C-alpha cells in the first residue's frame, strides 16, 4: 500500500511484526506457561489451554498452581524479603533499571506475545502498553534511587500478593511489581489464566537482570490459585479485577492483618446531568 493511498483512505498498512519469535520462545520453554518460584521454573503441567483469542488457536498449556505451590512461592518471597530490603534503595534501583533496559531490548517480542495472548492490535501493545510498562520500571527505579534521601521514612510492607486481569497483562504487572520492588517488598503475582504469557517472559527477564531468587515469583492458575494466594501468609493483597471478586477478597481478608488494595470494575462512573451537552458527553465517554 502506497503512502498516498494511506493518506487518502487513512487505512493502516501491514505491521512488520510476525509471530515467529514469540512462538519459538514458547516452544523453547516446553510449550507450557507455569510457575516461576525462587528463581526457577516449574513444575509444568498442561492443566489448561491458553489460546489466541483472535484465532482460537492454542498458544500454550498452563499450569494451575496448587495451594502447596502457592505456599512455596510465598515462603520463597518471605525468605528473600529481608535481604532485598536491606540491600538499600540504590542497589534495588540498579536491578529495576536493568529490568527496564531488558524490557526495551525485548520490546518487540513482548509486544507480539501480548497481542497473541490478549488479542489486542499489535499497534496498541507495541506503541502504548509495552512502552508504558517499561516507563513504570524506570520511574520506580528513580524512586528507589532517591529513597535514602527523599523517602527515608518509608519502610517495606513485606511480601505482596498481587492478582491482575487480562486486559493489560504486562502493564498491570508493571503497575503492581515495580513500586513494590522499589520500596523493598517481594512479590508473588498471579496473572489472569487467559493471559499468562508476558508474565512468563517477564520472569525470564528477571533472571537476566539479576533479580535475586525469591524476590519475584509468578504463579499461574485460575480462581482457585487466586484464593490460595489471598489465604496465604502474605502481608498485602493487591487486586485488579471485578467488583464481585473484590468483595470476596475483602471478606476473606477482613479479619486478618493484611493490607488490601482493590481496583475494581465500576470504579469510574460517568454521571451526566439533565443540563449537560448530551452530544459532547457521548463523545467524551466513547
Domain contains 8: no
- Residue 18 and residue 112: Cα distance in Å, rounded? 7
Domain contains 2: no
Give the long-range contacts of residues 246-254, CB within 8 A, separation 24 or more.
Answer: 252/227
Domain contains 98: yes
Domain contains 73: yes
Q: Please indicate whether residue 272 or residue 171 has the higher confidence score (pLDDT).
A: 171
To 5 degrees, how large is the angle CA 54–CA 171–CA 194?
Answer: 40
Domain contains 128: yes
Percent of the chain beyond pLDDT 70?
Answer: 93
Structural domain range at position 73: 15-285
Residue 29 has which C-alpha cell?
Answer: 520453554
Q: Where are the alpha helices (DSSP H) in the chain?
A: 3-9, 20-28, 67-86, 89-105, 107-118, 122-124, 130-150, 169-182, 197-209, 223-231, 243-253, 278-285
Nearest Cα to 92, choosing from 184, 209, 190? 184
Name residue 260's beta-bridge partners.
Answer: 237
269, pLDDT greater than 90? no
The SS3 call for residue 225 is helix
How many structural domains compose the chain?
A: 1
To 5 degrees, how large is the angle CA 190–CA 192–CA 197?
Answer: 90
- Predicted TM-score (pTM) of this structure: 0.88
Mean per-residue pLDDT for 9-13? 61
- Residue 124 and residue 128: Cα distance in Å, rounded? 5
Domain contains 7: no
- Give Cα 201 distance to the centre of its chain: 11
pLDDT of amino acid 271? 82
Q: pLDDT tens, 192-238? A: 999 999 999 999 999 999 999 999 999 999 999 999 999 999 999 99
Name residue 7's beta-bridge partners.
Answer: none
Q: pLDDT tens, 114-136? A: 999 999 999 999 999 999 999 99
| CATH code for position 249 | 3.40.605.10
Amino acid at each position: 500500500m502506497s503512502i498516498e493511498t494511506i493518506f487518502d483512505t487513512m487505512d493502516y498498512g501491514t505491521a512488520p511484526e510476525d509471530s515467529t519469535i514469540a512462538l519459538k520462545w514458547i516452544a523453547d520453554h516446553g510449550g507450557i506457561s507455569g510457575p516461576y518460584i525462587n528463581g526457577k521454573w516449574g513444575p509444568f503441567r498442561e492443566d489448561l489451554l491458553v489460546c489466541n483469542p483472535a484465532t482460537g488457536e492454542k498458544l500454550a498449556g498452563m499450569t494451575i498452581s496448587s495451594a502447596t505451590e502457592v505456599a512455596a512461592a510465598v515462603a520463597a518471597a518471605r525468605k528473600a524479603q529481608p535481604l532485598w530490603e536491606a540491600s538499600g534503595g540504590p542497589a534495588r534501583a540498579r536491578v529495576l533499571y536493568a529490568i527496564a533496559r531488558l524490557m526495551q531490548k525485548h520490546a518487540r517480542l513482548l509486544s507480539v506475545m501480548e497481542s497473541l495472548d490478549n488479542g489486542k492490535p499489535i499497534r496498541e501493545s507495541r506503541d502504548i502498553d509495552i512502552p508504558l510498562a517499561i516507563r513504570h520500571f524506570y520511574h520506580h527505579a528513580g524512586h528507589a534511587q532517591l529513597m535514602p534521601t527523599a523517602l527515608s521514612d518509608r519502610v517495606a510492607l513485606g511480601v505482596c500478593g498481587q492478582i491482575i486481569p487480562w486486559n493489560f497483562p504486562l502493564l498491570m504487572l508493571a503497575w503492581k511489581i515495580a513500586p513494590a520492588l522499589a520500596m523493598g517488598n517481594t512479590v508473588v503475582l498471579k496473572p489472569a489464566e487467559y493471559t499468562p504469557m508476558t508474565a512468563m517472559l517477564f520472569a525470564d527477564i528477571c533472571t537476566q537482570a539479576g533479580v535475586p531468587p525469591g524476590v519475584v515469583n509468578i504463579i499461574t492458575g485460575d480462581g482457585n490459585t487466586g484464593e490460595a494466594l489471598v489465604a496465604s501468609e502474605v502481608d498485602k493483597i493487591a487486586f485488579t479485577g471485578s467488583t464481585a471478586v473484590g468483595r470476596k477478597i475483602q471478606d476473606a481478608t477482613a479479619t486478618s492483618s493484611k493490607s488490601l488494595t482493590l481496583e475494581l470494575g465500576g470504579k469510574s462512573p460517568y454521571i451526566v446531568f439533565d443540563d449537560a451537552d448530551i452530544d459532547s458527553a457521548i463523545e467524551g465517554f466513547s
